[in-house]
Structure 1
Amino acid sequence: MDWLSRAADDPHACRALWTESPDALQLVATGRLFDVVAMPWGLGLTVLGQLYHGKRCMAGAVVVNQRREKLGFLVGPGAHLVWPDLLASAGGDPTAATCSGRDGYLLAPGPFFAPDAPCWWQRGPVGDAGDLTNLQNLADAVAAVGRLVSLSDAYVTSVVGASGER
């Protein structure tokens, strides 16, 4: 969490708060050490599943915001500049997920899970670099999930047909 606290406006105060209250929430700036790709949590959990390969997960740090019903994938700084085009080039819907960079903030949970907290780490940041998700892998996974949803919708439509009966 030392790495993440460096993104706060006052890193020393952030570290002190997390030392005293490890379940506390802190606002940390995006765009300095990381950007955040946010998406609805149904999509986000499915994308997270796509990023697992056997026992190895291709996702870096992922935060859940229960109140907003979103997942946020921490990615490299500057990602907000290329995210919509990268997602579109991967065949995904550029509006499926948004990317926050400079002038944005992340409500970041502390290192300990609090059951009543509005935010928690699905995958916590580790190490000095924060364990960021590769942006291309994330765009490919979002696009793949979008294709699966489209195929599923088309199948249901063909089975249900115009009558609305199965």
Structure 2
Amino acid sequence: MTNTMWVRGVEWLAAAAADPRACKREWDHGEGVALLEAGRFWDVLSVPERLGLLTLDLLWRPGLPVPGPTLVDTAAGRVGFLLPPDPSGGWVGSGLRCASRGSWVAVPPPYRPARYLEWLVPPDGSGTLHGPGALEDALQQANGTLAVLAPLCGR
């Protein structure tokens, strides 16, 4: 990412904060993590880490657009995909959690990891998010792959 993209990514992400300046101060001089409210600009679909990493791999293919912003929480073993707000909260499945309006999400700055949180795909400031249809297809494919591999791996 270029320096301009980092700056745009910071501005875009901080805009979700009640006080964007305080958010940026926290990233630079505090703990390095800000709590941002989901549901206004984006929701976060959180999935178990193995499923999330395989899903991201399926989305990151030649000829496809770069995937939307994606976080990993190594302490919780979860991957979070930022996608457009969905008032219905229609994501249902084993291990899936959706953070939407009224939920708060801990996020590091786009330019570095903080504690256990890291951007696998940082926001670039363009507002690009994961498309729900493409994300659902990739999740289903990844889930199918993991179901086939589980008996082979003894899990």
Q: How many Å separate the matches in 2 of 1:29 and 1:80?
A: 17
Q: What's 1:103 paired with?
A: 102
Q: How many Å separate the matches in 2 of 1:47 and 1:79?
A: 23
Give secondary structure in 1 for the equivalent of 2:76: coil
- Pairing 1:5–2:14 present: yes
Matches within 5 A, 1:13-162: 13-18=22-27, 20-21=28-29, 24-54=32-62, 56-78=64-86, 81-84=89-92, 94-114=93-113, 117-129=115-127, 131-153=128-150, 156=152
Gaps of 5+ in 1: 85-93, 161-166
Q: What's 1:90 paired with?
A: none
Q: Is the 8 A contact 1:59 1:132 kept in 2?
A: yes
Cα gap change, 1:105 to 1:133, in 2 (>3 Å): same
Q: How many Å separate the matches in 2 of 1:22 and 1:137?
A: 36
Cα gap change, 1:45 to 1:145, in 2 (>3 Å): same
Give secondary structure in 2 for the equivalent of 1:12: helix
Q: What's 2:3 paired with?
A: none
Q: How many residues of Structure 1 are paired with residues of Structure 2 in the alignment?
A: 145
Q: What's 2:5 paired with?
A: none
Structure with larger Rg: 1
Q: Sequence identity of aligned pairs in percent?
A: 26
Q: How many Å separate the matches in 2 of 1:79 and 1:145?
A: 26
User: Aligned-pair RMSD on alpha carbons?
Assistant: 2.5
Tell me the TM-score normalised to structure 1 length.
0.76
Give secondary structure in 1 for the equivalent of 2:112: coil
Q: Is the 8 A contact 1:23 1:112 kept in 2?
A: no
Tell me the TM-score normalised to structure 2 length.
0.81
Q: How many Å separate the matches in 1 of 2:72 and 2:149?
A: 26
Gaps of 5+ in 2: 1-9
Letter in 1 for 2:26: L
Letter in 2 for 1:108: V
